[in-house]
Amino acid sequence: MDFSAKLFTVVAGAVLAMSTAVSVANAAPTPVAACGIEAGLEYATVAELIAAMESGDLTSERLVTHLLARIERLNEQGPQLRAVIETNAEALELARALDAERAEGNVRGALHGIPVLLKDSIETADTLKTAAGSLAMVAASASRDAPLVANLRASGALILGKANMSEWANFRGTNIPNGWSGRGGQTLSVYGADYEACGSSSGSAVAVAAGFAPLAVGTETLGSIICPALHAGVVGLKPTQGLIVNEGIVPLSVRQDTAGPMARTVADSALLLAILQGDESLAEQYQQTLGSASLDGKRIGFPVEYAEGPAQRSDQPLFLKALAAMREAGAQLVPISAQVAPDFDVLYLLLQDFKTAIPAYLQSREGLGLSTLEELIEFNRTQPGNAEYNQAWMLMASNWEMTPDQYTAMLERVVAVNQAALDAPLEAHTLDALVFPTAQPSWAMAASAGYPSLNVPTGHGDDGLPGGMTFIGKAKAETDLLALAAAYEGLVPANCPTL
């Protein structure tokens, strides 16, 4: 969500109905027994790709050529996933240069030669546009790399292109399907056109699941990494607020936006998290922690309604299986209560955040021809081709008024309530983490509290659709969450749909 299933599946579900995905013919995936480089370059892990490059069996140029051909075959043709909004015209040239550097013994860092896709809201100082999915933003490219992009380039990563997204992080209108943007069209799930991709980092999640890139970067304000990761069957991590510098990201809420990694494995997610922070030494620390990860003796809280007994819930069979697997692996599972009622104050805060952030951002970009929210609204009003979609959120934000004192008081209350809802069970039961079925809006608490949350796939249900479990911990608990998720990941079959 940045609003993930329309912000208000969590906050104001009583007001807004869930958007439905556009129905377009789409091939269902065929599961493979195991993923990895033996299943094709598109499903290789970063470690496998780097090892192949180091041995001389693979070049970045060959990898990029393969992925670009795959994107061409599946993104606009075939199932028409529309997960990638633009590929980098300089990708092959960059790959050749990185190969030449490796041949000369110059390896920049842990991602040397590895392609990465970025959400369309992340600035790059190259030929790629940064438009938050909006046609209003394509007049000129950004003039700078976001700090996280500079960190990626320093590690040797190759920016393969921009991923589609819900336009303006799902904060344009109330009747727009999740995963749609004026610039990129409708992102579709690899699990079929009738199964929505969720938003707003829909393109990043679908691209990873479809084998368009081993790594992608999404952003989240309120569920926009976690929900798309669930629907794509990939790992998605929303970091602690402020862990990754959020400069150079088209904002919804400067105070609550954060970039985060999306990958097919926990290990790849951990590696990307380290690079996004600009600290390669963290990559080694994460690797060591994940290498020795175990659930044995870990105390993990889970919603009491899923406790064993007559009242056991049956609507989340994959979550129940996940709990059983963790218990068998030695985890001590503790039923807890951690529920926060839908809170319209979250909406009020985001309306004020958006109203403040968008004019400031527009004025920071040269060549767009827009400098105010009202000018943006007028552009959308006169833009042909999307008249069926409204601008309700933008209009509400434009007319929204809060005094600084009102805003501060409301923000302090929202943060305190959500932190307390998570802190109480963590501290009362001395827990290492909390877990929830990702289909439940537990991400709302973590996002509002500024705490990290991590979706890890739990396999596929009888309907063939992916399940997910969200690990949540206190601020800066990423290392612990990654270790727990990695230990759990080793208990379930590989989760690699292929087209």
Return the active site residues. Answer: 119, 200, 224
Fill in the amino acid letter for 394. M
Q: Which amino acid is at 133?
A: G
| Strands, E assignment, 206-273 | 215-220, 235-238, 258-263
Residue 301, beta-bridge partner list = 334, 434
Tokens at residue 123, please?
């600035």
- Residue 258, strand partner residues: 220
Q: Which helix (H) or strand (E) holds 334?
A: strand 332-336
The DSSP call for residue 450 is T
Q: Which two tokens stand for residue 481?
A: 């969450």
- Distance between CA atoms of residues 266 and 478, nearest Å: 11
The residues facing 453 across adjacent strands are 238, 472
For residue 297, the one-letter residue type is G
d(CA 269, CA 19): 29
Dihedral sign from CA coordinates of 470, 475, 478, 484:
negative
- The percent of the chain in helix, strand and coil, each rounded to the nearest 5, is 40, 15, 45
Give a three-class secondary structure readout of 25-94.
Answer: CCCCCEECCCCCHHHCHHHCCHHHHHHHHHHCCCCHHHHHHHHHHHHHHHCCCCCCCCCEEEECCCHHHH
Tell me if residue 300 falls in helix, strand or coil.
Answer: strand
Scanning the structure block, which residue is given the tokens 């009622």? 341
The residues facing 469 across adjacent strands are: 437, 456
Residue 236 Cα to chain centre, angstroms: 5
87 by DSSP, 3-state: which? strand
> Of 238, 82, 217, nearest to 146 (Cα)?
217
